[in-house]
Amino acid sequence: MRAKLSSSIVLSLFMAGSAVAAVPSIEDKAPKQASGDFWQAEKEGGCKALPAADSTRLGLIRQMLTTGKPHAAIAYLDAAKIQAPQADLLRADGLRQTGRPDEAETLYRRLLKTCVAGYAYQGLGLSASKAGKTREAADDLKAASLALPIDAAIRNDYGYALMTLGDTQAALHEFLTAIELAPENRLAANNLVMLLSRLGDVDKAQAMAQRFGMTEATLERLRLLAQQPAANAAVDGDAIKAVVVEDAETLPKPEDSK
């Protein structure tokens, strides 16, 4: 018999009107970090301030990574020749996204004792998840969430790993945390709807989908993904991202929702 999620937990999201704002149109393939600026200090040991020109260059390179241009990002990193942990982190992300996990892991591990350790743990977790190493992924993403507790993208990634392991209650809390930290985080919303569908809470899944303005086509795709076994977790993750990009076409533009 499938376990049901606590109604009070899910309904609390609907009752808190300020917790979930209207979802804007999505321009990037991946959600932006929700905890503030990527270049800000991480816990007590912050990164050394970069020259304005270098910070601008790395910001543009990071945008390339979030918009699906990792090869170009690496090329620009080669050209920029910036010696900083932030640049090395972006390179590791680029290597991971271009199918070079071993090189990426080496660089991520080198960054674990730097000011970007939380993001390095996230990268390791995503690599492990892609390789089907779910327990390792969950451990790395837990470390990332401890280092960066108000980063919505990391909380969502950690929740996904927990969901894949079958820890549904813990996954639920991570998804709700990600949504409350960053209401525009469509991946977290999609993951939550998929989790509810996977557990058979059809009414709650429908209500959440309506809350986020999801189309019926998106909801149906998430229901189909929910039926896949946990072993297909890495594939599920890519498919959910595809749902986000495709569904962005149907979302109201900012000027339409004024």
Domain residue ranges of the chain, discontinuous segments joined by +: 1-26+155-258, 36-149
For domain 1-26+155-258, the CATH architecture is Alpha Horseshoe (1.25)
- The tokens for 144 are 């990332």
Q: How far is it, in rounded angstroms, from Cα 20 to Cα 14?
A: 8
Nearest alpha-carbon partner for 117 in 86, 157, 75: 86
What is the value of pTM for the model shown? 0.75
The radius of gyration of the chain from alpha carbons, rounded to an integer in Å, stands at: 18
Q: Say if CB 180 and CB 168 are below 8 A apart.
A: no
Quote the CATH superfamily of domain 36-149.
Tetratricopeptide repeat domain (1.25.40.10)
Question: 22: alpha, beta or left, given left = phi > 0 and alpha = psi -120 to 50?
Answer: beta
Q: Say if CB 158 and CB 141 are below 8 A apart.
A: yes
Domain 36-149 in the same topology as domain 1-26+155-258:
yes
User: DSSP readout, 125-169?
Assistant: HHHHHHTT-HHHHHHHHHHHHHHSTT-HHHHHHHHHHHHHHT-HH
> Per-10-residue mean pLDDT for the chain, 258 residues long?
48 36 30 43 66 94 95 97 96 96 97 95 95 94 96 95 92 93 89 88 86 86 81 47 45 39
Q: What pLDDT does 185 receive? A: 85
